[in-house]
Each structure stands twice: as structure tokens, then as C-alpha cells.
Amino acid sequence: MSDRKLRIMVAKPGLDGHDRGARILARYFRDCGYEVIYTGCHQTPEQIVEAAIQEDVDLIGLSCLSGAHKELFPKVVKLLREKGAEDIVVIGGGIIPKQDFQYLYDQGIKEVFTPGTPLEEIKEWIDKNVKVEDRIL
Amino acid sequence: MLKYFAEELLNKCSSLRKKWEDEVKKLIEKRPERRQRFSTVSDHEIKRLYTPEDIKDLDFEKDINFPGEYPFTRGVHYTGYRGRLWTYRMFSGLGTAKDTNERWHLLLKEGQTGLSTAFDFPTLMGYDSDSPRSAGEVGKCGVAIDTLEDFLVLVEGIPLGEVTTSMTINPPATVMWSMYIACAQKQGVSLDKIGGTIQNDMLKEFIAQKTFMLPPEPSMKLISDTIEFGTKYVPKWNTISISGYHIREAGSTAIQELAFTLRDGMEYVEHAMKTKKLEPDEFAPRLSFFFNSHIDFFEEICKMRAARKIWAHVMKHRYKAKNPRSWWMRFHTQTAGCSLTAQQPYNNVVRTAVEALAAVLGGTQSLHTNSLDEVYCLPTEHAVQIALRTQQIIAEETGVANTIDPLAGSYFVEKLTKEMEEGAWEYIEKIDNMGGMLAAIDAGYPQMEIANAAYKFQQQIEEGDKVIVGVNKYVTEEAQECPILEIDESVEREQLNRLNEVKRKRDDKAVKKALDDLRRVCKKDENVMPYCIEAVKALATEQEICDVYREVYGEYRDPGFF
């Protein structure tokens, strides 16, 4: 284990501009003491993956409220694998019907959070499931 | 000054109040009230009781007056809803143009009186369905439109000279409006006969909704072009719908929504006056507004009453408009999407009804009521029908439209209206001092004010200080499901086929010429509208036209404030 702070990227893939949740989470994570990178809206999966690798993050939180999550979330996981960065954990949130959860899990999204989830619940999940590993510099 | 109350009454009121306060004090020592501090959903503090003393400084004529009279606190029309009810205008769009056309015909059959178009994200952002950026988004959040051919299908069988149509479209507003104009011409309807609205409000995009394309300055130029073109050729069209809705959805308070929206409006007025040399009276009567109706009943009503009053003042005194129509604030309202919950979704019907009632008591000109399932997906037909019926019940059963502005004169309503007004003025003056809304946006000021309010509200939810039924109180374990509308993946394939077909059959030379002409006028600072109309008629795609804008004016990227 390391003393390093967990690095989280909050990302908005696709053309969706509903960013209230993403921005609240970014600020909450920062208040929790994590290091936070927020991408802003309208990122392609390629841009997100490139930035995540460059910023050396431990976790990507994807937010999508436009209905394009089945296309965009798996694409991010796939690109991470292609770049050998599968150690970066990917979670998602937004307007996501229950029947899509299993598909997203199967595609490598580790957890899905929908509106109304208490922020603390997300933090607890992160602390339990994302470990800060020592990095080889 | 015409004082609201005589001195004698106020003196009496004061002594009665003191007696009442003594009683209250004794009582709450024994049994405290439910909470220490009461406040609205925007955290605006509300007192225990309001009395004549709270509104003793109001001037009856200057602050309230009569409906149809300046400052229009009680409404812009002399007869309120007795003459004509508000327009039932349900926002809708899904899948292909054909799917949406079917939904529109259904809504008209069910008694809807105006149309309102929801476009999918690629269309909203100026991308065609075949752009790599559109993958997975085609037809999902609204209807996919690539070329005039799609638009012709969208309005098939709709008499454009009779029905008014609102289009929620911002960066590519010139393109969608051009398509509508071209369709009207094909139907043989002249431009002075068509009515409707394009949202065309880029400032609130930078502030809140985040559908961007061009940087702020050229965005303003395109907007002033539409204002100028509408003034000359399409006199019944609202060329802009200055919107607070999205500002509120992004988490602002009611006062912020009011202030930022009105300050945006002023920015557009000043830009059109400066760059187009237009007099306010030439275009101001066609400016329209769009507000959110959130769950805090009285705060919303008072916000809307204050909005009319501030706008009238600004148009009359700041911009010296002389035509009373220029002083009118006419607005559309939508109930608050952000107040709906995925948990126990049927409760959303009740929330929407309360919000719709507030919009009506606030004097809206048209109304969209959200459907109970919109927290999951685009609404099903059944859910839309309930939402539309909600408006019809309010209008035709409850009797609230029988008299004009029935809440006027309530100590609480008049005081809260005044507080909304004063709160908004504080923000407006602050933004004036920053050099206007463009400068404020550049500094991230409204964006951060909203982010702060949204975060504070979220904390109040987490702490249980604000209640959302089914989310942080009265939670039920078992999932309550409602039917969900799924947009089939075949929509994207179908749309791509249509687009390819159009590209194959059109005259490429004519497209190129139209786009070259457009590029030339963009550089010359001429009005783009006539050239945009020619381009859509030549079957240039939406993205081809928007790419010309991007090429000439550059692109805006989200600075990502949080």
C-alpha cells in the first residue's frame, strides 16, 4: 500500500450535456480527499482513455444521461484494454435502466450508480473496491 | 406613491402582531416547531407569518397594478386565461422523423394545441447521424434530422400556417429554422403566416445546458442574424426563447434562474441593437422566455410574477422601448425534470401536477408537463397522455383559470415576489459591473454560482435537511417498476440509410456552391439566413452547414468548471 491519494477521473462521454451529477461528484470526491480530474462534457471514449492514462488515474467514473451508455461505456473499457491499462477501474452512472446493468457488467463496467444514490454509498464502494497501489516510477 | 395600506391599519396590525408573537413565544417554548429554520427548495428563508406590515412599502400602481398594465405583475393580458387558456405544448421527439410525426399527430388528436420538437443529441450539436461522434446517440433523446428530406417527413400532414411549432435547438438554430421555412414554402404557406419559436439561446448553453458549437461572440452573431431576419420576413416567429429552464435544472436557485435568464435577455437586446442597428421596438415583441416550474409552489409563482415586472422595467427604462408589447414578457414553462425521482416513479404525476399548477398561477403562456417515466427514458404514449391530461384537468376542472392572478394581494405572495425581484436585481447589477454576461461567462461566474447552489442542495439531501419522498425519506425496499420505451437500435441503421440515399441522389455541385456561398457571407459578416435556407434546399446536411460555421468561427470547448 502507498500513501498516495486515489486519483479519480470523472468523465462525460458522448454528446450529452447533463453534467449536474458529474460536477457534484467531482466536487464531492475532492472534498473526500481524492485527487480529481473532471473532463468536461462531450468527450470521445478515445479522449477519455488517453487522458486517463496520461493522468495515471486509478478510477474512471463515466456519466451519461442521453441513453448512449451501452455504446460508450463498453468502448472506454475496450480501449483501456487495448492500451494495456485494464488496471484502471471503470464505473458508470446516469439515466440507466435496470435491464441494461447486466450488459454493462459483462462488458467490464464494475458498478453502476443511478439517480438518488447517496454520495456516501459511492465513496464506500470506491474505498472497498479500488486499491491505491504503489506505482513504479 | 400610492401606499398599499392606510397608516391606521398598519398601527393596529403592529399591536396585534406583538400580541400574537407573545403567544407564539410561550407556545414554542413548550412545543418547538418542526424545525429551526424554514426555507424554500432554493434555501430562501420563509417567515412564520406574513402580514400587511411586510408589504407596507409596496406601491399599488408601480408594483402590482392591473393585468395588461405596466409592470404586468398580474399578467400581460387584460383578460388572463378567461380569454384564452395557455397552450398545451408537449415537448416531443423520438427515433426517426416518421416516428415523431406519428407522435405529433397523436398529440394533436388528444387536444394538444401547439407542437414542440425534441431533437437527438447529434442534431442538437450539429453532427450528422453518420458522424463517428453520433454512434449510439441517433434518435435516442429526440428525433434525428440530417437533411430537409427528414424535416419534410417530420411535418407531413401538419398545417404549418395553423399550428405553431417550437424547436429546442441552439447552436444549429439557423439550420433547423431554415428547414422549417423551406417546408412552409413547399406547403405554399408564406413566411408572414408561420408562427413558432426557436430556442436559439446560446448564453444559457455556456452557463448550463452545454450544447456548444461556436465560441460566444460568433454565437451571438448568428443569433442577431436570426433576430434581424425574423424582424424583416417572419414577423410572427419568436426568434429566441431566453431560457431559465436549463439553468435551474443544472442546480441553480430560483433567484439565480430569474437573474441569469433576464441578464441573458438584456445581452441579446444590446447585441441586436448594436450590431444590427435595430430599435428595441422592432424586435423586442418577438422575444420570448422559458422558465422552470420547480416543486416549491409559492417560490415559483412569485418568480414568474417578478420576472414579468423586471423585464417590463428593463425594456421601458434601460432600453427605452415605447411599444407596450416590447415590455411584455411572454413565457413557456416546463415542470422540473430534476424534481422527478426514479424511485416510486408514480409519485412523479403528483409532483408534476403541483408544478403545473404553480406555472398556471404564475401566468404562463404555454406549458409542458413532464411524464412520470422521463427519469428512465423518453416517455411512453400512456405516460404522455397522463401528463397532458394533468394540464387539461387544471384548465378545465379546477376553476383556477376563472379569475386573473388569484393570489395577488396575499401578504406572503406579494412579499416573496418582491424578494425574488430584489434578489435578481442584485445579481443583475453584479453582472453589469463585470461588463455584461459574456464577460461573466468568460470568468465562470454564473457557472460557479450554479455549481455552488447545486452542491449545497445535494448536501442538504444527504443530511436529510431537504426531503425527497422515496429517495431520502419514505423509502420502500421493493422496486416499483413502470413500463419503459426503448429506442430500437434499428433507428440508427434506418437513419443512416436515409442519409446515404439523400447524399446519392442530390446534386453535389449545387451543394458545394451553396456551402461556398455560405462560407463567403460568414467571412463577410453578412446575414447568413438567406444562404442557409439555400443550402438546406440544395440538400446540404446539417453537419455540412455547421462545419462551415466551425471552420470560419472556431469551436468552443467545455472548460469543465466544478
- At A18-72, the pLDDT tens digits run 999 999 999 999 999 999 999 999 999 999 999 999 999 999 999 999 889 999 9
Name the segment(s) of chain B with CATH classification 3.20.20.240.
70-443
Q: What is the pLDDT of residues B340-370, one digit of tens each?
A: 999 999 999 999 999 999 999 999 999 999 9
Cα–Cα distance between B124 and A79 in angstroms, integer? 27
CA distance B233 to chain A (A): 33
Question: What is the Cβ-side half-sphere exposure of residue A63, based on CA atoms within 13 angstroms?
Answer: 21
Phi/psi at A94 (nearest 5 deg)? 135, -160
Picking from A15, A40, A99, the nearest residue to B560 by CB comes out as A40
CB contact under 8 A, B212 and A66: no
Is the CB of B455 inside 8 Å of chain A's CB atoms? Answer: yes
Mean pLDDT to the nearest integer, A107-122 = 95
Domain-located, residue A137: no
CB contact under 8 A, B210 and A19: yes
For B139-185, the three-class secondary structure string (H helix, E strand, C coil) is: CCCCECCCCHHHHHHHCCCCCCCCCCEEECCCCCHHHHHHHHHHHHH
Domain-located, residue A73: yes
CB contact under 8 A, A115 and B137: no
User: CA of A118: which chain B residue's CA is closest?
Assistant: B462
The answer, yes or no, to whether residue A10 has pLDDT greater than 90, is yes
Phi-psi region of B555 (alpha: psi -120 to 50; beta: other; left: phi over 0): beta
**Predicted pLDDT of residue B112:** 83
**Predicted pLDDT of residue A85:** 96
CB contact under 8 A, B137 and A15: yes
Phi-psi region of B318 (alpha: psi -120 to 50; beta: other; left: phi over 0): alpha
Is the CB of B143 inside 8 Å of chain A's CB atoms? Answer: no
**Predicted pLDDT of residue B113:** 82
Cis amide bond preceding B71, omega within 30: yes
Is the CB of B134 inside 8 Å of chain A's CB atoms? Answer: yes
CB contact under 8 A, A15 and B484: no
To the nearest whole number, what is the mean pLDDT of chain A? Answer: 93
Cβ-based contacts of A119 with chain B (< 8 Å): 458, 462
Alpha helices in B480-562 (DSSP H): 490-505, 508-524, 529-537, 542-553
Phi/psi at A11 (nearest 5 deg)? -130, 145
Query: Residue A67 sits in which domain range?
Result: 7-129
User: CA of A20: which chain B residue's CA is closest?
Assistant: B250
Picking from A15, A24, A42, the nearest residue to B455 by CB comes out as A24
Distances (CA, A) of B132 to A48, B7, B119, B127, B289: 15, 71, 18, 9, 34
Beta bridge partners of residue B220, listed in sequence order: none
Mean pLDDT highest for which of B5-9, B104-108, B152-156? B152-156
Beta strand pairing status for A111-113 and A89-94? parallel
The answer, yes or no, to whether residue A2 has pLDDT greater than 70, is no
User: CA of A115: which chain B residue's CA is closest?
Assistant: B342
Cell of B244: 431559465
Mean pLDDT to the nearest integer, B394-399 = 98
CATH code, domain with A13: 3.40.50.280
> Which of A8, A9, A20, A103 is the best mutation test for B, with the most CBs of B within 10 A?
A20
> Which of B73, B76, B18 lies closest to B49 in space, CA to CA?
B18
Picking from B124, B479, B560, the nearest residue to A39 by CB comes out as B560
> Which of B490, B437, B373 lies closest to B201 in space, CA to CA?
B437
Cβ-based contacts of A39 with chain B (< 8 Å): 560
Mean pLDDT to the nearest integer, B214-243 = 97
Mean pLDDT to the nearest integer, B213-226 = 97
- Does the ipTM exceed 0.90? yes
Cα–Cα distance between B237 and B193 in angstroms, integer? 9
Cβ-based contacts of B557 with chain A (< 8 Å): 40, 42
**Predicted pLDDT of residue B514:** 98
The answer, yes or no, to whether residue A134 has pLDDT greater than 70, is no
> Which of B118, B148, B180, B178 lies closest to B499 in space, CA to CA?
B148
Domain-located, residue A2: no
> Which of B158, B174, B170 lies closest to B230 in space, CA to CA?
B174
CB contact under 8 A, A119 and B341: no
Interface of B with A in 228-247 (CB under 8 A): none
Distances (CA, A) of A137 to A20, A134, B332: 36, 9, 57
Out of A54-63, B477-486, B492-501, B523-532, which region has the weakest mean confidence (pLDDT)? B477-486
**Predicted pLDDT of residue A135:** 55
Q: What is the pLDDT of residues B10-44, one digit of tens each?
A: 999 999 999 999 999 999 999 999 999 999 999 99
Q: Around Cβ A88, how many Cβ atoms within 10 Å?
A: 21
Cβ-based contacts of B479 with chain A (< 8 Å): 98
Q: At what angle do helices B216-233 and B529-537 cross, to 10 degrees?
A: 80
Cα–Cα distance between A113 and B375 in angstroms, integer? 14
Picking from A38, A70, A115, the nearest residue to B560 by CB comes out as A38
pLDDT-derived band of residue A137, with 50, 70 and 90 as boundaries? very low
The answer, yes or no, to whether residue B509 has pLDDT greater than 60, is yes
CB contact under 8 A, A27 and B479: no
> Which of A8, A10, A15, A19 is the best mutation test for B, with the most CBs of B within 10 A?
A15
Cβ-based contacts of A21 with chain B (< 8 Å): none
Cα–Cα distance between B410 and B184 in angstroms, integer? 47
Interface of B with A in 491-530 (CB under 8 A): none
To the nearest whole number, what is the mean pLDDT of chain B? Answer: 96
Share of chain B above pLDDT 70, in %: 100
pTM value is 0.95
pLDDT-derived band of residue A136, with 50, 70 and 90 as boundaries? low
Cα–Cα distance between B264 and B387 in angstroms, integer? 30
Q: What is the pLDDT of residues B173-193, one digit of tens each?
A: 999 999 999 999 999 999 999
What CATH architecture applies to the domain B70-443? Alpha-Beta Barrel (3.20)
CB contact under 8 A, B343 and A98: no
Interface of B with A in 272-331 (CB under 8 A): none
Q: Are B58 and B418 in contact (CB under 8 A)?
A: yes
CA distance A136 to chain B (A): 30
